[in-house]
Amino acid sequence: MIPLLFLVLFAEGAVALLLMVKIGPLRELAMRGVEQVKTGKGPATVKTLACTLSVILMSSVAAIVRIQNRGHKIGNVSPMDQVLWRTHLLEASLIGYTLFLAFVIDRLHHYLQKLITLRKSANTSREEVEKLQMENRSLREKEEKSTSEMKKLQQDMAKLSEDMKKLKSESEDHQRKASDAEAHVNALQKQSEELLLEYDRLLEDNQILQSQLHYKG
């Protein structure tokens, strides 16, 4: 029993060490081994072994207490009782360490699984953050591009406004010149009409003079 307990204790110590210290792919192998023990019929088997070891532990402790009580009653402990006491003490210690290491391995495996899950979540969150940063950068670039385009459009609109003002002033100048030309034409027409009237009057005077000369002749 004791050599088997030593073997189990060393095996558990090795597994606990591999779970605590990452040595190449050995931690993954230890994790897979513990996971296989925790799946299927493994948990029931482990519980059965733990209960059996607990019963043996209590039996060893009871034997130790019984030997001590017998020694107190007799006043001395026989060599046989000393050997039995040491054997039961070693057995109880090995069983206690075995159960304790089994509990430590279970907790280490549990927290390592949580750590792996948290790392995956952190990696996923980091990827999402990087994606959001890229989208934000893209939006900023688009915003800067839109801003530059808006500035360009504003400059074009300002230039068009200046051109419109210039065209408006030129149109007003043309209208003014056209009005002046129209007024000049109207003045020339009026002057022409006056000249025509004067010409008609002169023709009438000429006819009157000719008729007078004709009568005198």
- Cα–Cα separations (whole angstroms), residue 47 to 90, 114, 124: 23, 23, 37
Low-confidence ranges of the chain (pLDDT < 70): 75, 77, 216-217
How high is the pLDDT of residue 52?
86
Quick check: is 54 in a domain?
yes
Determine the pLDDT at residue 95: 87
Give the span between the Cα atoms of 82 and 68, in whole angstroms: 9
Q: 161 lies in a domain?
A: no
- Residue 7 domain flag: yes
Is residue 176 situated within a structural domain? no
Cα-to-chain-centroid distance, residue 142 = 19
Q: What is the pLDDT of residues 12-40, one digit of tens each?
A: 888 888 888 888 788 788 888 887 777 77
pLDDT of residue 40: 76
What is the pTM (predicted TM-score) of this model? 0.55
Tell me how many domains the chain contains: 1
> Hey, what long-range contacts does 6-10 have (CB within 8 A, 24 or more apart)?
6/94, 8/98, 9/94, 9/97, 9/98, 9/101
- Taking the CA of residue 156 as centre, how many other CA atoms within 13 Å lie in the half-sphere pointing to its CB? 6
Contacts of 70 (CB under 8 A, 6+ apart): 77, 81
pLDDT value, residue 217: 58
What pLDDT is recorded for position 212? Answer: 80
Which residues constitute the domain of residue 83?
A: 2-128
